[in-house]
Structure 1
Amino acid sequence: MSTTTDTFSTSRFASGTGGSGISGAFSKLSSFGSAGLGRSSASVGSSLAASVLFGGAAEEKIVLDIGSFSLRAGFSGDSAPLHTAELFGKYEPVKPTHRLAGSNHGIYDFPIVDQDLLDALVLEQVKEVYRSHLLLDSKSRKVVVAEGALMPMQLKRALARVLLGNLRVPQITFYPSAVVALMSCGITSGLVVDCGHKQTTVVPVYDGRPLVPYMTSTPLAGEALFESLKSLIKKYGQFVPFDDSVRSAKVTDDILSDEVCRHIQTKVLYVSPLSIPGALSKQPIELSVNEVDPQLVEWFEQSVTGSPTITLTITTKTHGRGTLKFPGWVRERAAEVLLAGDSTEDHKGIVQSIVTCISNLPVDVRRPLASKILMVGGVSDVPHFRIRLLHDLVAKMRSISKWATLADSVALAEDKQQVRESDMVVGSSANGLTFKSSDRCWIGASLAAAAKIGGVELKRDDFDGYSVADWTIGN
């Protein structure tokens, strides 16, 4: 393998012109897959592997992926982030936030227009990552950031001020998260569906360039799933205390805490493989985050694929220890609102958002992108979510005469992409299923940094405290 690396300039990256550099780098990355990129025992392993792959002493960088509710951090060349945590989950109060210790908040739950507040929040979180997990001097490593297409510029400026000003890192490189996410599959084109906490975005990427004007989004994401699950358990569940002298109680906020509901969402929830029948879904039924039509409830009860009742032992402040019981269909159908949409708020579901994005694309790129749909984000890790989304998407497109032929080409990027046998090495994966969907943006940024692919760079000496490049302009 040649030791030279393909790069492309910042101006070309920002404007969306050119692309031979990133294509060349992608071809090299697809040849070695994920072999040799794991940090199993120490950082020396990944550094040595990177040196062998790219020649010479590879420069190790810090890789950050900051979402609306979580942060992932680690070192370039690794196959998984070293640290993953909820933003501002377990920290002491700091000025000027005056937050309660242990309170859970995403970054967007605070007034993002308050520069001092935003800087303090970001500094608190990033310093903790360096101090407790990365265990190194911030001035010793450059930083790579996987940036979502809808990341507010205020947050991007705050991150630059904290890293370059407070922590004195030498340089920040921004990568579009949709572009680098595709790198985990070794491809340059695809439709990236990022289902995070606050919103779901559908970003088309062609030849390594994000086609931002054709991007679609919906507020139905992880937060809506959490609220849907909680409202269903409160309405259809019950709590039975272990104390025989106390009768069963209706589920309230005192019983179903956010911590318990989050546990159910991450450990118990899965998506039913059975779609809502077309005859039923065409009727004027109501499906929203806080309400489900009785007709749907009746069908949900009849179509349970698992246990008819879910029981969990929990501890409450008001009733002590006891058993939380709720119908099995709640476990399977809480995510239906994400797929079908919120009829009360008139929010499009993820399936409709994907169809809208495909219909807006130029004719010549619809089929190539529709055949490589990549799911990323925390909600994508819910069991059966990806397969069910694909099934509903194909059914939706076949129901529209003009998209019926295109529906046969729709496929997931992880299942579609195959590594050529001659390019496979020991430990590589032929379909990319090695990686968690929620980690793909971080992994892609890690690969990009290890391969020395150029991005939008910002050096400490050139930063004026405000000006940061916006790669979404001009694409």
Structure 2
Amino acid sequence: MYGGDEVSAMVLDLGSHTCKAGYAGEDAPKAVFPSVAGAIDEMDIDESDNAEKNSVSADKAKGKRKLYVGSQSLGYRRDHMEVLSPYKDGIVADWDIVDSIWDHAFRECLSIDPKEHPMLLAEPSSNTQQQRERAAELMFEKYKAPALFLAKNAVLTSFASGRATSLVVDSGGGSTTVVPVHDGYVLQKAVATSPIGGELLTDCLIKSLESKGIVIKPRYSFRRKEIRPGEFQTVDLDFPNTSESYKLYSQRVIASDIKECVCRAPDTSYDERAYSNIPTTPYELPDGQIIEIGADRFKIPDILFTPTLVQTIPGMESFAEIAPSVRGLPQMVIESINKCDVDIRRELFSSILLAGGTASMQQLKERLEKDLVEDSPQAARVKVLASGNATERRFRWVIYFSFKQSL
């Protein structure tokens, strides 16, 4: 039974890259884990898997497949395990995976009974009525939530920064979205989206390193053996039944860390000649190999501003075809503001909020502000705001004071 103010409200934010779950009013989420699931067809599961039944993995048998959710379960390599996302083109396409992710968040990460907590679900600005109904149906019928409120991501970001009107630039794992919020409502007609997100940048980094002869070995594919104190030898392991999607997932985890550690947005548009002699930065891979990263540190983040740079990266041909039609971040911001009412444009220019994991990249705020000052009308006072705290910016967490009144 819902116990009013005695019971903490739960917040669930299922992003395209990570799922965040925790209590409303707290500074950061209690649980953060990948919003993908490992899936094995039941016919592929050997008897040997029965030994895993006592493990803490959140595996769920859904029809004819078994799902594994959470960093720990996904970190363990299994034969024929495919890594699947519930999202397709920014919209939930596989509700079985969403169910498994929510279940993992409630039971394994937070150890709560969803019947006892009102729920706040963060949803993408592009969510359809059908998607909202499906989420509400699952939350009420399966989890028996006493109360539910669905709020747009952009609105929550705006409220969390103490503003009712702002322009939210949300750059996450799967895409980048520019959303104008006015008096707590999303102006749908002016929303701009781009397929460039953290995962595309990570894939570009993997391909760019491969073109230079650097191959990222997934953690499961080798063992480090100590031959003398402090000296290790890497022994390659062969697992022929590993799926391509699991190999890519494991490589992305490492490449994502490289990106977060060494990449930063360049002050001006990336120029191959200007950056050819830039000092390199060392990075130690899990297998002990130390690689030097030079111009890629600046080139990869600049794809957000100049999407056609993807065409210069070998192996990214599939995206390179649509790159010319994709707009850079400053163009998206200006287009979005120009589609809004003339009376609120000045206010939007002066409160551009950065949110999402990709937006926490070093120097991104300064570069976006600089480009917008050059391209925007003279009368506009451009101000890009980003939380000084990387955790807040990354997790867009909600200090959502009015949540209980909203119910």
Sort the TM-score into its range (normalised by shorter chain): 0.7 to 0.9
Scaled by the length of structure 2, the TM-score of the pair is 0.73
User: How is 1:38-437 mapped onto 2 (pairs within 5 angstroms)?
Assistant: 57=5, 59-89=7-37, 91-92=58-59, 94-96=61-63, 98=65, 102=74, 104-108=83-87, 118-153=94-129, 155-238=131-214, 257-266=251-260, 268-276=261-269, 296-302=271-277, 304=278, 307-315=279-287, 322-342=288-308, 344=320, 345=322, 346-397=325-376, 403-406=377-380, 409-414=381-386, 433=389, 436-437=392-393
2: CA distance between counterparts of 1:92 and 1:382? 34
Unaligned runs of 5+ in 1: 1-55, 247-252, 278-295, 316-321, 398-402, 415-430, 458-475
145-154 or 97-106, which deviates more:
97-106
Q: Which amino acid aligns with 2:393?
A: S
1: CA distance between counterparts of 2:107 and 2:67? 21
- State the match for 1:423 in structure 2: none
1: CA distance between counterparts of 2:283 and 2:213? 10
Q: Which amino acid aligns with 2:17?
A: F
Q: Which amino acid aligns with 1:143?
A: M
- State the match for 1:438 in structure 2: 394
Confirm or deny: 8 A CA contact 2:7 2:116 kept in the other structure. no
- State the match for 2:45 in structure 1: none
- State the match for 2:44 in structure 1: none
SS at match of 1:369: helix
Question: Against the structure 1 CA distance between its residues 370 and 237, is the aligned structure 2 distance closer, same or farther, given a 3 Å change threshold?
Answer: farther
64-73 or 256-265, which deviates more:
256-265
Question: Against the structure 1 CA distance between its residues 323 and 393, is the aligned structure 2 distance closer, same or farther, given a 3 Å change threshold?
Answer: same
257-266 or 363-372, which deviates more:
257-266
Confirm or deny: 8 A CA contact 1:193 1:373 kept in the other structure. yes
Question: Against the structure 1 CA distance between its residues 206 and 58, is the aligned structure 2 distance closer, same or farther, given a 3 Å change threshold?
Answer: farther
Question: Against the structure 1 CA distance between its residues 391 and 77, is the aligned structure 2 distance closer, same or farther, given a 3 Å change threshold?
Answer: same
Give per-residue Cα distances to partners, 1:234-255, cap 9 Å, x unaligned.
Answer: 12353699879x9xxxxxx989
2: CA distance between counterparts of 1:198 and 1:132? 26
Give per-residue Cα distances to partners, 1:375-395, cap 9 Å, x unaligned.
Answer: 111111222222222222223
Question: How much has 1:206 moved relative to structure 2?
Answer: 1.6
1: CA distance between counterparts of 2:90 and 2:350? 40
Confirm or deny: 8 A CA contact 1:376 1:437 kept in the other structure. yes
Q: Which amino acid aligns with 2:398?
A: I
Question: Against the structure 1 CA distance between its residues 107 and 93, is the aligned structure 2 distance closer, same or farther, given a 3 Å change threshold?
Answer: same
Question: How much has 1:185 moved relative to structure 2?
Answer: 1.7
**Cα RMSD after superposing both structures:** 3.3
SS at match of 1:217: strand
Q: Which has the higher contact order (CA 8 A, sep 6+)?
A: 1
- State the match for 2:225 in structure 1: none
SS at match of 1:233: helix
Question: How much has 1:331 moved relative to structure 2?
Answer: 2.0
Unaligned runs of 5+ in 2: 39-57, 69-73, 75-81, 218-231, 237-243, 312-319
2: CA distance between counterparts of 1:65 and 1:121? 15
Confirm or deny: 8 A CA contact 2:166 2:182 kept in the other structure. yes
Confirm or deny: 8 A CA contact 2:206 2:255 kept in the other structure. yes
Question: How much has 1:110 moved relative to structure 2?
Answer: 10
Question: How much has 1:168 moved relative to structure 2?
Answer: 1.0
Confirm or deny: 8 A CA contact 2:114 2:145 kept in the other structure. yes
